[in-house]
């Protein structure tokens, strides 16, 4: 029975390759920024609903996030991923030189469009395998809005959406096919500090003003002094987002936006606490009022070894796509443009790697990975060495490279989830290994209790470009046939 269910799911993905491609390319051309992914989320939720999932839209206050559920009872397996694009990276697919679809518009330049197609196509394959082979359990699909701003998943965890989940999978595009385990990415708190003062004529009566920009400068000086006393693992970086209008008006409003990071959540929390004190001191010195808005707060990403081993076995069973000479030529042309080694596409899957070396970047799925055991499947939907968030990393995302790599990823992901649905012992074993891995660390969200999702993020930018982008949307609707 076991292999029959997996074979069925893998066949389902393969015979619905056209549905996958249409979904992948539709989301590519939508090119929607975080919190504005209305078309992308709309297409995914419509498909899930059509195929019998119960869909809850707008979870945790994110209009473009969703949770879709199929089945009931234990085990409860979740798949989550993102589908947001980035600003200024509109790029025609299949063209190995800079060629914008809409000049200046946002675009996919990493592959979150393929992440979404992999999640939905494997979800449908698993759902029909569950029905056909009477596999017990619940499948939960989470649409996670605005990953590029580290946003939505800590809210889901804080709001209890993962309370009854046994384990979770995250799928993400890369140029390799495989997985890894261990501490991957760092904790981060992203917060804007806004100071309110009072305007005055800067030449005639500066003594009447209260200078909010002074407070920003003083906070900056305070944190610069504090750098000497930070633990070597801590890092912080900032921009000034508001600094006044013109020199002869004392600024009544000024603001700075900071990121505070550490390999562990506790380190990021301590650093943020220190920064808040320094900001309060700056406000006091400049006689201003202070407002602090936490924009994002994430735990480091850690990947469970047992889930990784399950994923790896299925990746090995599915195998690396066979790339054509034309695909390799296109990859090399892009690598030449990006001035990176011209190695073409990877011919083989990657061995299981772990524990990996932790990096200073962050991802908003970190909170999920401390709440429940989590695995991440990397699928080969993009070209090796291209820098993400550069136009070149967008050029393959609606071509046969993303299609073949994504289909392989969807098959291995579906097969891995089915392994868990048919073996409760494996679920128990995974939970035990997770417990051993996290030790006595207690998960407590870094996100403040009352923090609300930012609804208008990226709104103006998306409204500006959407009309011109709409002309390039593809007409076909993604169809999946049982």
Summarize as ranges the residues that interact with Zn ion (CB under 5 A). Answer: 110
CB nearer to Zn ion: pick between 110 and 171: 110
Pairing between β-strand 187-196 and β-strand 289-298 as defined by DSSP bridges = antiparallel
Residue 284 CB, shortest distance to Zn ion, in Å, is: 40
Name the 3-class secondary structure at 66: strand
Residue 107 CB, shortest distance to Zn ion, in Å, is: 14
Residue 183 CB, shortest distance to Zn ion, in Å, is: 18
CB nearer to Zn ion: pick between 12 and 156: 156
Residue 448 CB, shortest distance to Zn ion, in Å, is: 25
Helix 400-421 / helix 112-132 crossing angle, nearest 10 deg: 40
Residue 459 CB, shortest distance to Zn ion, in Å, is: 22
CB nearer to Zn ion: pick between 110 and 419: 110
CB nearer to Zn ion: pick between 379 and 480: 379
Position closest to Zn ion via CB: 110
CB nearer to Zn ion: pick between 22 and 86: 86
List, as one string, the DSSP characters of 214-263.
HHHHHHHHHHHHHGGGS-TT-EEEEEEEE--S-TTB--SEEEEEEEEEES
Residue 398 CB, shortest distance to Zn ion, in Å, is: 17
Q: Are 208 and 161 in contact (CB under 8 A)?
A: no
CB nearer to Zn ion: pick between 84 and 327: 84
Nearest alpha-carbon partner for 404 in 383, 420, 381, 387: 381
Q: Are 57 and 45 in contact (CB under 8 A)?
A: yes
Q: Name every residue whose Cβ is closer than 8 Å to that of residue 232 and which is 6 or more positions away in sequence.
A: none
CB nearer to Zn ion: pick between 282 and 298: 298
Residue 80 CB, shortest distance to Zn ion, in Å, is: 12
Distance CA 187, CA 205 (A): 46
List, as one string, the DSSP characters of 81-101.
E----BTT----TT-SS---S
Helix 112-132 / helix 38-50 crossing angle, nearest 10 deg: 10
């Amino acid at each position: 029975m076991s292999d029959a269910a997996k074979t069925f799911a893998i066949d389902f993905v393969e015979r619905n390759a056209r549905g996958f491609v249409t979904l992948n390319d539709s989301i590519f051309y939508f090119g929607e920024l975080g919190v504005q992914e209305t078309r992308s989320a709309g297409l995914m939720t419509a498909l899930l609903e059509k195929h019998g999932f119960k869909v809850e839209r707008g979870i945790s206050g994110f209009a473009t996030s969703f949770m879709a559920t199929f089945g009931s009872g234990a085990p409860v397996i979740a798949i989550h991923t993102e589908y947001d694009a980035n600003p200024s990276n509109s790029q025609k697919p299949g063209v190995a030189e800079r060629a914008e679809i809409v000049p200046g518009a946002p675009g996919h330049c990493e592959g979150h469009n393929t992440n979404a197609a992999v999640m939905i196509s494997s979800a449908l394959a698993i759902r029909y395998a569950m029905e056909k082979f009477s596999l017990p359990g619940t499948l939960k699909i989470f649409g996670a809005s605005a990953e590029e701003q580290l946003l939505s998943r800590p809210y889901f965890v804080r709001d209890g959406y993962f309370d009854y989940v046994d384990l979770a999978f995250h799928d993400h595009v890369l140029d390799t096919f495989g997985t890894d385990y261990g501490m991957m990415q760092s904790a981060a708190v992203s917060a804007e500090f806004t100071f309110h003062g009072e305007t005055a004529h800067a030449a005639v009566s500066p003594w009447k003003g209260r200078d909010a920009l002074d407070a920003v400068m003083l906070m900056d000086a305070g944190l610069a002094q504090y750098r000497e006393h930070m633990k070597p693992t801590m890092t912080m970086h900032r921009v000034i987002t508001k600094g006044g209008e013109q020199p002869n008006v004392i600024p009544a409003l000024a603001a700075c936006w900071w990121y505070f990071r550490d390999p562990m959540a506790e380190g990021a929390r301590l650093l943020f606490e220190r920064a808040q004190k320094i900001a309060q001191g700056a406000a006091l010195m400049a006689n201003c009022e202070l407002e602090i808005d936490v924009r994002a707060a994430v735990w480091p990403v850690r990947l469970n070894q047992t889930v990784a081993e399950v994923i790896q076995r299925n990746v090995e069973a599915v195998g690396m796509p066979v790339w054509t000479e034309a695909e390799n030529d296109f990859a090399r042309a892009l690598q030449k443009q990006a001035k990176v080694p011209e190695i073409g596409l990877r011919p083989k899957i990657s061995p299981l790697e772990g524990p990996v070396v932790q990096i200073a970047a962050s991802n908003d799925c970190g909170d999920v990975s401390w709440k429940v055991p989590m695995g991440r499947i990397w699928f080969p939907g993009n070209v090796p060495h291209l820098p993400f968030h550069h136009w070149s990393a967008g050029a393959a995302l609606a071509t046969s490279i993303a299609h073949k790599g994504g289909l392989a990823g969807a098959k291995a992901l579906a097969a891995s989830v089915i392994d868990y649905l048919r073996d409760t012992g494996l679920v128990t074993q995974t939970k035990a290994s997770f417990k051993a891995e996290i030790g006595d660390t207690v998960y407590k969200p870094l996100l403040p209790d009352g923090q609300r999702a930012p609804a208008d993020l990226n709104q103006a930018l998306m409204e500006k470009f959407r009309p011109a982008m709409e002309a390039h949307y593809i007409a076909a609707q993604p169809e999946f046939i049982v």
